[in-house]
Amino acid sequence: MKGQTEPVVVAKRVDSGDADTAEIRHLAEAAGYEVVGEVTQTRKADPALQLGEGKAAELARKVAQRDASRVVFDNRLGPYQKFNLGKELPDGVDVDDRFTLILDIFGQRAQTRKAQLQVELAELRYELPRAEAKTSLAKRDEKPGFMGLGEYDESREKDIKAQISRIRDELEAIEHDEQQRREQRRESGFDLVALAGYTNAGKSTLMRALAEDLDVDENDDLHPDLDSTAESENRLFTTLGTTTRRMDMDRRDVLLTDTVGFISDLPHWLVESFKSTLDSVYQADLVLLVVDATESVDEMREKLVTSHDTLYERNSAPIVTVLNKVDEVDSEELAEKQRALSALAPDPVVVSGRDEVNLDGLRQRIHEELPERQHERLVLPMTEDTMSVVSWVHDHAYVEDVDYGDEHVVVEFEARESIVEQTRSKASSLAEA
């Protein structure tokens, strides 16, 4: 893990418009760096340096003036560009792009075996095209180390592919176990609700408000800001794992799961590496898509479109948009944003996780959107096993009434279809005994 005070300069080039460095600054801080300066440019990418020669010289001067030990680009850098930039900068200054920075953050936060495997998979997928480039260039030019790519070693490419295959197999086994656990929870009468959305949308704060101090035993990372004694923090990538808690609902048993947040402009290889983290979203009965209501309409629209593309790819459950942080937006601005985004979010729920605004309204919407429950009335014969069946129904369903007679017990309840079927089977077994 990097030191908390390592000074860095961030850089960003855009084809047109203004180069916004807010996100790359947040990423650098999340990795443990101190941002001491920035350099931006609006122009077409330079194939050798990403920036123009004059701007690259300005970057080198700023790095020297601020005594920075590293430069972090918000742009993707090829090996050739990294090599050339390294020659422009003072000796000993490292160069990263946003993707190596994200991998650095993920590596720091990976606590579980699954998270560690996903980080390793992403790193290997990042390295593979570079290893292939070394092989191709070295064969063509017979010059090991060409363009700063390092020594030619054809076996490295084969090793990477073999490691990728091994990690995929292990992740598939973990995902199989997690899928079985989800199915067991459904069979126990739980509805599964997942929180999705971009980092810093307030998902973890909202989860604390909806399900505080009702932890479910998970062998995954727990968000530090979900700890009952911790304050919610405004930072990216708190964890790579999932946190699941039993939600406080009147008529349903609901498990609420939070996962790593989305982030913009991720390459395909990185999204694929961490896709299994989103399985709890894809397999949920309902998805709450949390959006930061303080952002501009353009930012919200872009994130909604990308989130829908990601979620609808493998998800068949209803998606409810939740506009969070409404305590920081005046009512007129909020209404205008809702109108502007009505096509993407036609009926959003507006809340504040921090100030616990409209959480009852959100709970009611969750109840309405989850799979419809069946109402059942069972007449159970009074036997020595009847009370254990009644207890089982209490544990797996919402019991409305129990009437104890001399010869029968009548139980009225609401439950998932699978639970109703199980109770009928148990009732039949009692009658046959």
pTM above the 0.85 mark?
Answer: no
Residue 200, marked binder? yes
Residue 133, marked binder? no
Q: Range with the lowest mean pLDDT among 113-117, 275-279, 293-297, 337-341?
A: 275-279
Q: 262-280 pLDDT, tens per residue?
A: 776 666 666 666 666 666 6
Looking at every residue in the chain, the average pLDDT score rounds to 82
Residue 254, marked binder? no
Q: Categorize the per-residue pLDDT at 234 as very low, low, confident or very high, splitting at 50, 70 and 90.
A: very low
Dihedrals phi, psi of 310, to nearest 5 degrees: -70, -45
Ramachandran sector of residue 409 (left: φ over 0; alpha: ψ -120 to 50; beta: rest) = beta
Residue 202, marked binder? yes
Tell me the C-alpha distance between 231 and 13, whole Å.
Answer: 36
Q: Categorize the per-residue pLDDT at 3 as very low, low, confident or very high, splitting at 50, 70 and 90.
A: very low
Q: Range with the lowest mean pLDDT among 7-11, 130-134, 271-275, 281-285?
A: 271-275
Residue 25, marked binder? no
Q: Which helix (DSSP H) or strand (DSSP E) does residue 413 occupy?
A: strand 408-415
Residue 330, marked binder? no
Ramachandran sector of residue 96 (left: φ over 0; alpha: ψ -120 to 50; beta: rest) = beta
Cβ neighbour number for residue 390 with a 10 Å cutoff: 19
Tell me the C-alpha distance between 244 and 251, whole Å.
Answer: 19
Six-digit token string for 255? 């498990």
Long-range contacts of 312-319 (CB under 8 A, 24+ apart): 314/282, 315/281, 315/282, 315/284, 315/287, 317/284, 317/285, 317/286, 317/287, 318/286, 318/287, 318/369, 319/286, 319/287, 319/289
Q: 311-333 pLDDT, tens per residue?
A: 876 777 889 999 999 999 999 99
Six-digit token string for 280? 């709890």
Q: What's the pLDDT at 87? A: 93
Residue 264, marked binder? no
Dihedrals phi, psi of 134, to nearest 5 degrees: -60, -45
* Half-sphere exposure of residue 254: CA atoms within 13 angstroms, side-chain side: 27
Q: Which helix (DSSP H) or strand (DSSP E) does residue 243 occupy?
A: strand 243-247
∠ Cα 373 379 384 (to 5°): 115
Tell me the C-alpha distance between 141 and 143, whole Å.
Answer: 5
Residue 325, marked binder? yes
Residue 352, marked binder? yes
Q: What's the pLDDT at 174? A: 83
Tell me the C-alpha distance between 35 and 8, whole Å.
Answer: 5
Average pLDDT in the 234-263 region? 73
Residue 199, marked binder? yes
Residue 327, marked binder? yes
Six-digit token string for 199? 């980092």
Residue 260, marked binder? yes
Q: Which helix (DSSP H) or strand (DSSP E) does residue 405 occupy?
A: none
Distance of CA 373 to CAs 10, 315, 397, 401, Å?
53, 21, 10, 16
Q: What's the pLDDT at 295? A: 94
Q: Judge whether residue 121 has pLDDT over 70.
A: yes
| SS3 category, 232 | coil
Residue 217, marked binder? no
Q: 53-86 pLDDT, tens per residue?
A: 999 999 999 999 999 999 999 998 988 899 899 9
How would you class 328 by CB atoms within 10 Å of its CB: exposed for 0-12, middle for 13-18, buried for 19 or more?
A: middle
Is residue 110 a contact partner of residue 75, using CB atoms and an 8 Å limit?
Answer: no
Is residue 354 a contact partner of residue 210, using CB atoms and an 8 Å limit?
Answer: no
Cβ neighbour number for residue 274 with a 10 Å cutoff: 19
Residue 203, marked binder? yes
